[in-house]
Amino acid sequence: FTYFNGKPRWNRPSPVTLTYAFSPGNLIDYINMSEMRAVFKRSFSRWALVIPVTFYESEDYYSADIRIGFYRGDHGDGEPFDGVLGVLAHAFSPENGRFHLDAAETWAIDFNQVKSKAAVDLESVATHEIGHVLGLAHTSVKEAVMYPSLSPRTKKVDLKIDDVEGVQALYGSNPNFKFSSLLESENSSNNG
Q: Which of 59, 129, 143, 186 is catalytic?
A: 129
Smallest separation (angstroms) from other proteins to the CB of 21: 15
Which residues are registered as beta bridge partners of 120? 107
16 phi, psi to nearest 5 deg: -75, 135
Contact present, 65 and 78 (Cβ < 8 Å):
no
**For 13, how many CA atoms within 13 A lie in the half-sphere containing its CB?**
0
Which has the closest alpha carbon to 141: 125, 152, 156? 156
Smallest separation (angstroms) from other proteins to the CB of 115: 4
Please say which residue, 80 or 173, places its beta carbon nearer to other proteins: 80
Please say which residue, 31 or 141, places its beta carbon nearer to other proteins: 141
Smallest separation (angstroms) from other proteins to the CB of 175: 28
Which residues are registered as beta bridge partners of 99? 68, 91
Which residues form the interface with other proteins (CB under 8 A)?
A: 4-6, 8, 77, 79, 81-93, 95-97, 106, 115-118, 120, 125, 128-129, 132, 137-138, 140-142, 147-152
CA distance 42 to 34: 12
Smallest separation (angstroms) from other proteins to the CB of 119: 8
Please say which residue, 68 or 174, places its beta carbon nearer to other proteins: 68
Other beta carbons within 10 angstroms of residue 45's beta carbon come to 12
Contact present, 100 and 90 (Cβ < 8 Å):
yes
Please say which residue, 171 or 174, places its beta carbon nearer to other proteins: 171
Please say which residue, 44 or 67, places its beta carbon nearer to other proteins: 67
- Residue 129 is a catalytic residue: yes
Q: Which helix (H) or strand (E) holds 187?
A: helix 179-191
Helix (H/G/I), strand (E/B), else coil: 138: coil
Give Cα separations from 143 to 49, 84, 120 (angstroms): 19, 24, 17
Smallest separation (angstroms) from other proteins to the CB of 168: 20
The set of catalytic residues is: 129
